[in-house]
Structure 1
Amino acid sequence: MLYHFLYPLRDEFFAFNIFKYITFRTVVAFLLATVISIIWGKYFIGFMQRKQFGQVIRDDGPESHLKKAGTPTMGGVFILGTILLTLLITGNFNSIPVLITCGVTASYFVLGFIDDYAKISKGNTKGVSAKGKLLWQFVTGLIAVYAMVHFGVIDTQLFVPFVKGPVFNLGMLFVLFGAIVIVGSSNAVNLTDGLDGLAIGPIITSAATLGFIGYATGHSEIASYLFVPYVENVGELAVIGAAIVGAGVGFLWYNTYPAQIFMGDVGSLALGGTLGTMAVLTRSELLFVIIGGVFVAEAVSVILQVGSYKTRKKRIFKMAPIHHHFELMGWAEPKVIVRFWIISIFLAILAIATLKMR
């Protein structure tokens, strides 16, 4: 909102003209979000400790995790709160892509909050039912993607990495396809959130990558040079991406091993939905498989494990999601986390490289 207040004053105060530049507001968003989250995080953790809002640990998980019971959770509240405050200062809410992204984030935030609060109040790991979550997520996703198409933000063409131009027009089936991307991203991030700092690392790299792609996609000359589809006003997602990165860095200050606070579903569901929405808006739906490769691997490991056990009564992994498999193989928790971060950084760079490989 500060952007909307200061930028119109550029004629009286020329210095305010700098607010029109997305690059400037992106840098400010990162710096602000980092500082705000580190400062606010300390007080938020203290508040959660006083309220005794601690994490409930699965009794069927690795034994080493049982000692984490009672660690403050719902850290997603201060992550998303930081992002919101940052966007109120640097965000351009005249951008429909920004409004749609914020709408999905808010909806999934509410779902995650209800789920986390139910678990804490009941003292077990059962929150909102799986069917209830999926219904909420899909309704939100369908509305969001329909709005993108209805308001002419994007078309219904399908874009594939390494290929110039669209390959197929999905028509209104694109609404379902886009919703699946958003819902899948939300749940994949949620599955990844199982070790100290594991999920926030790939969230940071994914947000940075999608923000970069958003800036390129929203710049007509750059989009033309890279042979990527031009989407008007989607460059503003770079500011959201920077806010996520900054808030994520601040959260990691406290979430790094051994964690002082956990993200909770309020954070993982909301941030996963945000990333999925950014992927659809930047026409990176399939490229997101590379960008969020760690999330994809976590989700696929669960699908394969469940499918194998139901059909063959045999497990493929020692435990799913796959990060638990490596723990049970004897990898120390920090080793699993850092190696997954390394993979995430590699995939992010690879995804950016594909923009010119067309």
Structure 2
Amino acid sequence: MLYELLAWLNDQYAPPGFDAFDFITTRTAFAAATALIISLIIGRKIIQWLIKMQLKEVIREDIGLHTHLNKVNTPTMGGVIIILATVIPAMLWMNMFSIYTWMIVFVTLTLGVVGFVDDYIKVVRQNKSGLHGWVKVFGQVFVGIILGATLYFWPAFSEYNTLTTVPFLKEVNIDYAFFGDTAGWLIYIPVVVFIITGVSNAANLTDGLDGLLSGTSAIAGVILGIFAYVSGRTDFSNFLNIMYLPGAGELTIFAASLVGACLGFLWYNTYPASVFMGDTGSLALGGALGAMAIMIHKELLLPIICGVFVAETVSVIIQTSYFKYTKWKYGEGRRVYLMTPIHHHFEKLGWPESKIVIRFWIIAILLGIISLLTLKLR
């Protein structure tokens, strides 16, 4: 909205320097700074309100980690900070006439609402189970269907709507329309639903230590922002020999807002955390990252870009599957890890929480660098 106002002022009066706002790089910088300032300013106010309303984290007594019992009085639902600090700058600095703007904001807000309801049931109604599993999945599937249908049927995307880039292979794309264009949506939309559901749930599993999810999400946001920027420019996309996506550069501004919001939230969320994001933040962050990857046709890179999320999820799958198998075969369930998700395994080994988080951040940075290398190593 602010971008449109500045563009109008530039057209009408041509003030010195106002033409700089036509550049995505300028708006990206302002979006990141705006998000950081908003999260720092409103963060303290929201935390004070959460404490006043006694919206505190629900810690299960059977979790098996006594150190986490000390967090029982920490306010939760702080994901509201991240959502506001992401969406407000995005709406201010992104092009409001771009479909990319509306779809990424829709995904973030809708999954944020699903997470908020889940947190509300846990914290306010004191129901530790939270929102029923199928209701949460329904919300994720609904978001995936809307996003997938829009990207498939929107006329501007018709030339490349079912294409996705294959990492490390030059000029190789996968076309989801295996059986012809008329049936392409039957494959493409379920793929989008799977990615949105999978990444948002994976982010939810990752949110178990102070600063872990907010830090890794910021790193992933930087990487996806770079991909969005180069994909939205004809010169860079031609030089790098990647798919050119007109208008996708607007997602760079959203990515900058998300990164700024996460960094501002980290001010309050680093160990020992003054606030937790809850499902309100984790579902919104996961959904936003998944949606950005889909919209810039880099979803096959998500296992690398969000590698920490993947490791957390796979550890849970391995643990659960092995426990059920050994219980069926031997009559007693056995475990591969001391505890899952895998960050709890390292806690059980005696690693300090801050050390685990920082090392996971380092891994996320390395995976991000590998993701960027796919632009040239093909």
Which 10-residue stretch deviates more, 177-186 or 109-118? 177-186
Alignment deviations for residues 307-343 of structure 1 (CA, whole Å, 9 cap, x no partner): 1111122211111100000100111111111100110
- In the alignment, is residue 20 of structure 1 matched against residue 34 of structure 2? no
| Distance (whole Å) between structure 1 residues aligned to residue 365 and residue 62 of structure 2 | 31
> What is the CA distance between 1:253 and its match in structure 2?
0.3
Deviation, 1:106, is 1.3
User: Match for residue 181 of structure 2?
Assistant: none
For residues 57-86 of structure 1, give each alpha carbon's deviation from its aligned partner in whole angstroms, at most 9, with x where no partner exists: 122221110110121111110111111221
Alignment match, 1:239: 253
State the distance in 2 between where 1:322 and 1:73 align. 22
DSSP-derived class of the 2:286 partner: helix
- Cα distance in 2 for partners of 1:165, 1:127 equals 46
Higher deviation after alignment, 254-263 or 4-13: 4-13
SS class of match (2:250): helix
Deviates more, 1:58-67 or 1:259-268: 58-67
Structure 1 position 246, deviation (Å): 0.6
Contact 1:188 1:295 in 2 (8 A): yes
TM-score, normalised relative to structure 2 = 0.92
- Cα distance in structure 2, aligned partners of 1:221 and 1:26: 19
* Pairs within 5 Å for 1:293-332: 293-312=307-326, 313-332=333-352
Question: Is residue 57 of structure 1 aligned with residue 71 of structure 2?
Answer: no
Question: Residue 169 of structure 1 aligns with which residue?
Answer: 175
Is 2:214 aligned against 1:205? no
Unaligned ranges ≥5, structure 1: none
- Report if the CA contact (8 A) 1:48-1:73 is conserved: yes
Between the two proteins, the alignment pairs up a number of residues equal to 358
CA contact (8 A) 1:234 1:282 kept: yes
Q: Distance in 2 between matches of 1:195 and 1:124?
A: 22
Residue in 2 aligned with 1:350?
370
Secondary structure in 2 matching 1:195: coil
Cα deviation 1:134-191 (Å, max 9, x = unaligned): 1210121121011011114342123210112343321221221122111111111110
SS where residue 212 of structure 1 aligns? helix
Could you tell me how far apart the structure 2 residues matched to 1:249 and 1:46 are?
19
Overall identity of the aligned pairs, in %: 43
Which consecutive residues of structure 2, in runs of 5 or more, have no partner in the other structure? 178-184, 327-332
Aligned equivalent of 2:302: 288
Equivalent-residue separation in structure 2 for 1:217 and 1:33 (angstroms)? 24
**Offset from partner CA, 1:100-121 (integer Å, 9 cap, x none):** 1111111101101100001012
- How far is the alpha carbon of 1:123 from its aligned partner? 2.0
Cross-structure match for 1:220: 234
Normalised TM-score (structure 1): 0.97
Matched residues in 2 for 1:59 and 1:89: separation?
44
Matches within 5 A, 1:21-100: 21-61=23-63, 62-100=65-103
Contact preservation (8 Å) 1:191, 1:298: yes
Larger Rg over CA atoms: 2
